[in-house]
């Protein structure tokens, strides 16, 4: 096992930094997830860790050892790609033995018949075959060792790719969206497989994904990235409860967190939303910003409830869409007098709609007049100008679902 330290790691492509001064400590044995939208620099960062991409500036340490100038083979890290990158003309056994064969590589392995025999010999050697057999058992591939990749399903191929990484017994596993080529059902079962594998092997995992569900379920910690810059590092629970800014707030959780334009008067302990005034709950009241200011009230869909349109406690609005997704319903509502902010399309100001989730089947339909009641216990407050969090952290133990 080994820790990884990144200091000010930067990669510039054509004068534009795609990874910008990333500093991180990856603890030995942890499952760290790099999360962010497509193009934010996740793969580039992972490839720099692996040694497949050079650094423009910065340093990378594996334990105490500086590795950023070392070739991939000297770093003791195994890489699993999104495309399984298996050798199609080799059996599963040969694909999995391959890294161990290459460890003993001699130039004359290139000579056709002699090379072939030499590779066969290494593959059949007690150490190599025992390692491959043991790994195949862990991954339930024992019955497939003599088959070729084309005869395997996507999930089986991805297990072979994992096996090929495992036989090397690396200190660090690097995985770049390894599940994104699989269909939804297989993806969730492979997710569980990889979590179990991490527990069993105990190595350090760095896992890249753009899928927040994968990040939330698999990571011991999440590194949230945007345009090459780290936005927040934290446990899934902490990032969900205390997003550092509106970008993180909207990226984590489905449906996304609602951002309502509001005015906060901290000295008065009040929050003005539309035509209503609310008392700031304890965790928001302790914010020590002077005077009153425009803010974005971040509130998750499960902290909103539909009430009677006449109910004075609610914000009035009209239902625009009801989606039934089995156990829950998602209800989209256009509020009469509250503006909302949408990350990325602030100009278009598409809708001023909010979304809330309700357990069970909702009898509402488009056009219904409703009131929306807010539970501010788990709400976040962001600066309307910078988008940065200004409310204090919620105690991470408190979040409670507010289901109606």
178 touches ligand ADP by CB under 6 A: no
181-187 — which CB contacts under 8 Å span 24+ positions?
Answer: 181/82, 181/83, 181/84, 181/154, 182/154, 182/155, 182/158, 183/154, 186/153, 186/154, 186/155, 187/214
CA distance 110 to 80: 26
CA distance 134 to 323: 47
Q: Of 18 and 260, which CB lies nearer to ligand ADP in the complex structure?
A: 18
Q: Give the interface segment with ligand ADP, choosing from 33-41, 97-105, 213-221, 386-394 (CB under 6 A).
A: 33-41
What is the contact mask toward Mg ion in residues 45 to 74, using x (rule: CB under 5 A)? ------------------------------
Phi and psi at 239, nearest 5°, equal: -65, -35
First to last CA, the chain: 46
Q: Of 22 and 372, which CB lies nearer to ligand ADP in the complex structure?
A: 22
CA distance 83 to 185: 18
- Using CB distances below 5 to 8 A depending on partner kind, what does residue 86 bind out of Mg ion, ligand ADP, none? none
Q: Give the interface segment with ligand ADP, choosing from 34-42, 251-259, 263-271, 341-349 (CB under 6 A).
A: 34-42
Q: Give the interface segment with ligand ADP, choosing from 10-18, 66-74, 82-90, 346-354 (CB under 6 A).
A: 10-18
43 touches ligand ADP by CB under 6 A: yes
What is the contact mask toward Mg ion in residues 180 to 219, using x (rule: CB under 5 A)? ----------------------------------------
82 touches Mg ion by CB under 5 A: no
**The tokens of 176 are what?**
């770049």
Q: How far is the CB of 158 from ligand ADP (least distance, A)?
A: 18
Q: Of 39 and 267, which CB lies nearer to ligand ADP in the complex structure?
A: 39
Which residue, 358, 268, 341, 347, is CA-closest to 298? 341
What proportions of the chain, in percent to the nearest 5, are helix, strand and coil? 30, 30, 40
Q: How far is the CB of 74 from ligand ADP (least distance, A)?
A: 23
Which residues does residue 372 pair with via DSSP β-bridges, in sequence order?
Answer: 306, 315
94 near 174, Cβ under 8 Å?
no
Q: Using the rule CB under 6 A, which residue among 44, 209, 242, 246 binds ligand ADP?
A: 44
Q: How far is the CB of 395 from ligand ADP (least distance, A)?
A: 33
Residue at token pair 């030499």: 118
Q: How far is the CB of 399 from ligand ADP (least distance, A)?
A: 29
348 to 246, 340, 342, 344, 352: CA distances (angstroms): 17, 11, 9, 9, 10
338 to 77, 209, 299, 330: CA distances (angstroms): 51, 34, 13, 20
Q: Using the rule CB under 5 A, which residue among 19, 22, 41, 43 binds Mg ion?
A: 43
Q: Using the rule CB under 6 A, which residue among 8, 39, 73, 385 binds ligand ADP?
A: 39
Q: Using the rule CB under 6 A, which residue among 6, 9, 40, 295 binds ligand ADP?
A: 40
Q: How far is the CB of 24 from Mg ion (least distance, A)?
A: 17
243 near 249, Cβ under 8 Å?
yes
The answer for residues whose C-beta is within 8 angstroms of residue 163's C-beta and 6 or more apart is 95, 96, 132, 135, 136, 139, 141
Q: How far is the CB of 96 from ligand ADP (least distance, A)?
A: 27
Q: How far is the CB of 18 from ligand ADP (least distance, A)?
A: 4
- Using CB distances below 5 to 8 A depending on partner kind, what does residue 40 bind out of ligand ADP, Mg ion, none? ligand ADP
Number of residues that bind ligand ADP (CB under 6 A): 11
CA distance 343 to 250: 7
Site residues (CB under 6 A) for ligand ADP? 13-14, 18, 36, 38-44
Site residues (CB under 5 A) for Mg ion? 43
């Amino acid at each position: 096992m080994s820790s990884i330290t990144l200091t000010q790691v930067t990669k510039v492509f054509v004068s534009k930094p795609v990874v910008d001064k990333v500093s991180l400590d990856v603890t030995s044995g942890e499952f760290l997830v790099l999360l962010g939208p497509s193009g934010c620099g996740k793969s580039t960062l992972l490839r720099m860790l692996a040694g497949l991409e050079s650094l423009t500036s910065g340093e990378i340490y594996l334990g105490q050892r500086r590795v950023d100038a070392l070739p991939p083979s000297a770093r003791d890290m195994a890489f699993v790609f999104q495309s399984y990158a298996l050798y199609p003309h080799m059996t599963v056994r040969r694909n999995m033995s391959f890294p161990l064969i290459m460890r003993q590589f001699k130039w004359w392995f290139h000579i056709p018949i002699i090379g072939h025999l030499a590779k066969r010999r290494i593959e059949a050697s007690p150490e190599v075959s025992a390692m491959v057999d043991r790994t195949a058992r862990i991954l339930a591939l024992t019955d497939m060792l003599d088959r070729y990749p084309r005869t395997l399903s996507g999930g089986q191929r991805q297990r072979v790719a994992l096996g090929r990484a495992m036989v090397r017994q690396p200190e660090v596993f690097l995985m770049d969206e390894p599940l994104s080529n699989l269909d939804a059902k297989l993806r969730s079962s492979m997710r569980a497989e990889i979590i179990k594998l991490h527990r069993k092997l105990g190595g350090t995992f760095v896992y890249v994904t753009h899928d927040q569900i994968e990040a939330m379920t698999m990571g011991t910690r999440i590194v949230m990235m945007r345009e090459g810059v780290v936005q927040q590092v934290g446990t899934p629970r902490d990032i969900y409860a205390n997003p550092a800014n509106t970008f993180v707030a909207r990226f984590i959780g489905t449906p996304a967190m609602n951002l309502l334009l509001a005015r906060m008067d901290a000295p008065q302990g009040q929050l003005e939303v539309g035509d209503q005034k609310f008392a700031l709950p304890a965790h928001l009241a302790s914010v020590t910003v002077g005077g009153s200011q425009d803010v974005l009230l971040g509130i998750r869909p499960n902290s909103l409830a539909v009430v009677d349109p006449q109910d004075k406690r609610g914000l009035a609005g009209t239902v625009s869409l009801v989606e039934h997704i089995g156990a829950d319903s998602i209800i989209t509502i256009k509020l009469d007098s509250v503006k909302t902010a949408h990350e990325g399309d602030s100009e278009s100001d598409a809708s001023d709609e909010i979304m809330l989730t309700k357990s069970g089947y909702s009898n509402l339909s488009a056009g219904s007049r409703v009131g929306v009641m807010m539970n501010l216990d788990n709400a976040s407050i962001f600066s309307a100008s910078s988008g940065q969090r200004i409310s204090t952290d919620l105690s991470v133990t408190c979040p409670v679902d507010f289901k109606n």
